[in-house]
Structure 1
Amino acid sequence: MKLNKPIQLLAISAACLLAASFLAACATLTVDFVYVTSALAAGPNSYGEVDVFEINSESGRMRQIVTSPFPSGGRNPVAEAVSPDEADLYVVNEDDNSIVQFVIGSDGKLYPQNTVNTPGIFPLATAVSGKFLYVVDLYQPLPTCSPASPCSGSVAVLPILDAAQAGALKPPQPADTLGTPVVNTAISASYWPLSLSGGAASDVFVPTAVAVAASGPYVYIAGYDSNTGIGYVFGFVSGSDGTLTSIPGFPLAVGTHPSGIASDASGAYLYVADSTQNLVYGFQINGGALTALSGSPFATGGRPSAILLDANAKYAFVANGQDSNLSVYSVASGNLSRLGTYTTGTQPVAIGIDPSLNQYVYTANFLGNNVSGFQLNSSDGSLINSQFSPSASNANPTAVAAITHGSRKK
């Protein structure tokens, strides 16, 4: 039967509407975008990349978006953070001493906007809280320190400019642009030293991780003394202008080799993973000071590399690098009770959780060259593998961050 032209047009229109409805329904299944940095350690001039995955809200499947991966804007990206409005991604490139700001498109794509240099040498960790980005450098700036003459690390504070502040720059910049580092007036420099006092001249504090507790905000930097093998945590309170003030009683001796640090969403508790003792030390935060929890420390698997709590502080997750698995703990009055352990790719080094549903958990697996995805059962803390997990990434993934699909406020 041959349709006349008006009927043909109606049939085509109906088919197009059906297809559009189907595509719209598919689009709504993307609940989050996950960003995974990869070091791509293939030579001194090899630039890193950022894999971008869209997460299916029903299966948790991680699928790379079109045009992913994106260049990281530097060599050896090791850390990343998301702006408070989830509209920008900050990528820390260790070998270039740089932080690259990417504007995040509505489809999850990355658009490089600005690059700033960190005050110190070899940035290795970062965290965002409110209108500030905190970055930890392995060494204090030249000429004080260098790889040939190492000294203790440092922390710097970079303002995250709002639309008015960024628009007043010349040339004007978009909101979330990083401003000039906050000045430490005590030393007339744009960083705060993380130096150990009262010890030998050879004592060098090697920072490894940073966390910000929302209750202060209090800024905590974990690391160890390369001479004595004693672990420490430095504690600061951040002022409204971003200046840091050391909290009395810090640095605090904690374990031997802190490798990861995290606070719960309320800022009531702080946890420090120790990669040589296979332990997590837990503390209650009291005005910035730390009081050991009654059950602390808590046993982990082999060489824990990262720790993270879910948004409700009901569960804690520890990545065990040596065992290539992820342990899940229930949290009660801050104390941890292990519920189960789940296989990841080889050597997980970072953990993320989806900000939309608080349901999907990811690990970046450094030697596995992939990303493991799990679905969290909020009732009992058990995990099941997301569909088609693990997902391939570029060589040596190092960090993971996520935003809610459709959360952009720009």
Structure 2
Amino acid sequence: MYVTNILSNNVSTFDIEPSGRLALRDELTSAGGAPRSVVVTPDGRFAYTANGVTPMTSDDFNSISRYRITAGGNLVPLTPPATANGDPDALAVAPNGRTLYVVNRGTDTVLPFRVGADGQLVRLSDPVPTGAENARGIALTPDGRFLFVSHGDPLGTQQDWLTRFAVGGDGTLAPMGRRVPIGSAGGAMAVTPDGRFLYVPCSASQEVFGFRIGPDGELTSVPGRRFDAPDVPIAAVATPDGRHLFVAAGGLVISTSTKVSAYRIRTNGALEHLANVDAGRAPVSLTPTPDGRHLYVANLNSWDVSGFRIGRQGQLREIAGSPFPTGGRQPAFQSIVIRPNQGPAAAFTARAAATGRPTTFDATASTDPDGRIARYDWDFGDGTVLPDGGPKPAHVYRDTGTFQVRLAVTDDEGCTTLFVYNGTSALCTGSPAALATRTIVIPRELG
């Protein structure tokens, strides 16, 4: 996991232990100046930080730093950084990993870059106006077809706006229709992994707006539309299963809030408030783990990360040892990201036997590039399934014939066939490779 520190101009790297505890690596990585948002490409090979204006100054680094991620997870800075378009604040990497989008708060523009094979960034077009003042948050749909930008001054009181863009096949942006009204000071948005709902926290009006995303990118309000949120709600994130939403409510340097709010996402997209829990001082950015078991929250004013276990009903319980110091100073807007879990690949062989005798299977050739296979689900093609049947099951066929045997594998972080994307970065790069099918022929037993 990576956390930016805006005042110390660096990035902290944590190892996530099986218990959920965080272990900070000793050496922090230089970010080149005032880093806020951080994203990682879906393949886990490159990371980017948005380096904007240093707080309480007019110094604008106006750059996007690039990093190569080693096999062990270390960040290696790449030079030179890319030039942005005035106080870059928020980043999103497209689900296919080919495009990086930068929201420039200083000029109210979005700037698209093509991501090269070596992590190089090349401008795809001129900066695109966002269509409203005080551009802030960004989110893409999991299919990569639509992009949303929230707007708002965290210290303002006026109504603000959400604007929409269609994403072309080459990653370029085309503005869509009229802007959509929200509350005051829109922040870091959440898209559910199924792409059905968008949630916009509004810090100055203390609410979260919910929208259904249509197949054409149109937004319609979910029942209830506006949902109360305490203090300064600045960032939202959905769990990988799309059942719960968490909101960080401390997005101002002057904030005294410690609250993280938990909501249940109903089937119609409405939010049911579950509880508020305490994190550190001024929680500002948050992310779940790819398996949905843990939530991590970066705290602006206590310079640390709070860790929670996520219960089946969305309840949050603090992890032993939390909060975990970053070693740097002041994580800020969209300052936390987890390296995407790379999906597994299924493979198996079969040794067919005659009816009445055990046919054996061997799936030990299945692989996971960043962990291990934790679950093997078998369908033997004759109406018999064997959930979590291990890598070497045996099955007795009662009838002769040709059968399609299917294996689905799941890795130790819960990743299988589904690609899980949270609006700015991937959490899990599941794919059809997690499924394998073989045809076997069962002969009649002789004698």
The TM tier, using the shorter chain, reads 0.5 to 0.7
Task: Quote the offset at 1:37 in angstroms.
Answer: 0.7
Aligned residue for 1:36? Answer: 49
Aligned length: 296
Secondary structure in 1 aligned to 2:223?
Answer: coil
| Cα offsets for 1:276-305 (capped at 9, x unmatched) | 431111111112011123xx2121011111
Aligned residue for 1:87? Answer: 98
TM-score (norm 1): 0.66
Aligned residue for 1:235? Answer: 210
Aligned residue for 1:353? Answer: 338
Which of 314, 327, 330 is matched with 2:306 structurally?
Answer: 327
Q: Distance in 2 between matches of 1:178 and 1:269?
A: 30
Secondary structure in 1 aligned to 2:234?
Answer: strand
Percentage of pairs with the same residue: 26
**What residue ranges of structure 2 are gaps of 5+ in the alignment?**
1-42, 251-255, 344-369, 375-423, 432-447
Task: Quote the offset at 1:40 in angstroms.
Answer: 4.2
Secondary structure in 2 aligned to 1:96?
Answer: coil
Letter in 1 for 2:176: V
Which of 56, 68, 87 is matched with 2:70 structurally?
Answer: 56
Aligned residue for 1:132? Answer: 146
Task: Quote the offset at 1:308 in angstroms.
Answer: 0.7
Aligned residue for 2:83? Answer: 71
| Cα offsets for 1:132-152 (capped at 9, x unmatched) | 11101227xxxxxxx9x9721
- Cα separation, partners in 2 of 1:235 and 1:55, compared to 1, 3 Å: same
Secondary structure in 2 aligned to 1:306?
Answer: strand
Aligned residue for 1:393? Answer: none
- Say whether the 8 Å CA contact 1:123–1:138 is kept in structure 2: yes
Task: Quote the offset at 1:206 in angstroms.
Answer: 2.1
Aligned residue for 2:408? Answer: none
Which of 233, 238, 241 is matched with 1:266 structurally?
Answer: 241
**What residue ranges of structure 1 are gaps of 5+ in the alignment?**
1-29, 140-146, 163-174, 184-189, 196-204, 359-374, 380-399
| Cα offsets for 1:126-179 (capped at 9, x unmatched) | 01112111101227xxxxxxx9x97211001111112xxxxxxxxxxxx11112
Structure 1 stretches of at least 4 aligned residues deviating more than 4 Å after TM superposition: 40-47, 400-405
Aligned residue for 1:157? Answer: 164
Which of 135, 138, 157 is matched with 1:123 structurally?
Answer: 135
Aligned residue for 1:289? Answer: 270
Letter in 1 for 2:323: T
Task: Quote the offset at 1:209 in angstroms.
Answer: 2.4
1:193 to 2:168 alignment: no
Task: Quote the offset at 1:81 in angstroms.
Answer: 0.4
Aligned residue for 1:338? Answer: 318
Alignment of 1:102-117 (within 5 A): 102-114=113-125, 115-117=127-129
Task: Quote the offset at 1:216 in angstroms.
Answer: 4.9
Q: Distance in 1 between matches of 2:58 and 2:248?
A: 31
Aligned residue for 1:279? Answer: 259
| Cα offsets for 1:375-407 (capped at 9, x unmatched) | 99xx9xxxxxxxxxxxxxxxxxxxx968999x9
Q: Distance in 2 between matches of 1:46 and 1:62?
A: 23
Q: Distance in 1 between matches of 2:331 and 2:280?
A: 12
Q: Distance in 1 between matches of 2:227 and 2:425?
A: 29
Aligned residue for 2:25? Answer: none
| Cα offsets for 1:183-238 (capped at 9, x unmatched) | 1xxxxxx210115xxxxxxxxx222221111345211111134xxxx511111111
Q: Relative to structure 2, which stretch is displaced further, 207-216 or 298-307?
A: 207-216
Aligned residue for 1:11? Answer: none
1:224 to 2:178 alignment: no
1:254 to 2:229 alignment: yes
Q: Distance in 2 between matches of 1:48 and 1:404?
A: 30
Q: Distance in 2 between matches of 1:331 and 1:32?
A: 28
Q: Distance in 2 between matches of 1:356 and 1:331?
A: 18
Q: Distance in 2 between matches of 1:311 and 1:243?
A: 28
Aligned residue for 1:182? Answer: 176
Task: Quote the offset at 1:259 in angstroms.
Answer: 2.1
For the aligned residue pairs, the C-alpha RMSD in angstroms reads 3.0
Letter in 2 for 1:158: F
Q: Distance in 1 between matches of 2:47 and 2:111?
A: 17
Task: Quote the offset at 1:346 in angstroms.
Answer: 0.5
- Cα separation, partners in 2 of 1:403 and 1:108, compared to 1, 3 Å: farther
Which of 285, 305, 319 is matched with 2:284 structurally?
Answer: 305
Secondary structure in 1 aligned to 2:230?
Answer: coil
Aligned residue for 1:245? Answer: 220
Letter in 1 for 2:295: A
Q: Distance in 2 between matches of 1:224 and 1:304?
A: 12
Aligned residue for 1:169? Answer: none
Letter in 2 for 1:342: F
TM-score (norm 2): 0.61
Aligned residue for 2:384? Answer: none
Secondary structure in 1 aligned to 2:106?
Answer: helix
More helix by share: 1
- Say whether the 8 Å CA contact 1:45–1:75 is kept in structure 2: no
- Say whether the 8 Å CA contact 2:132–2:151 is kept in structure 1: yes
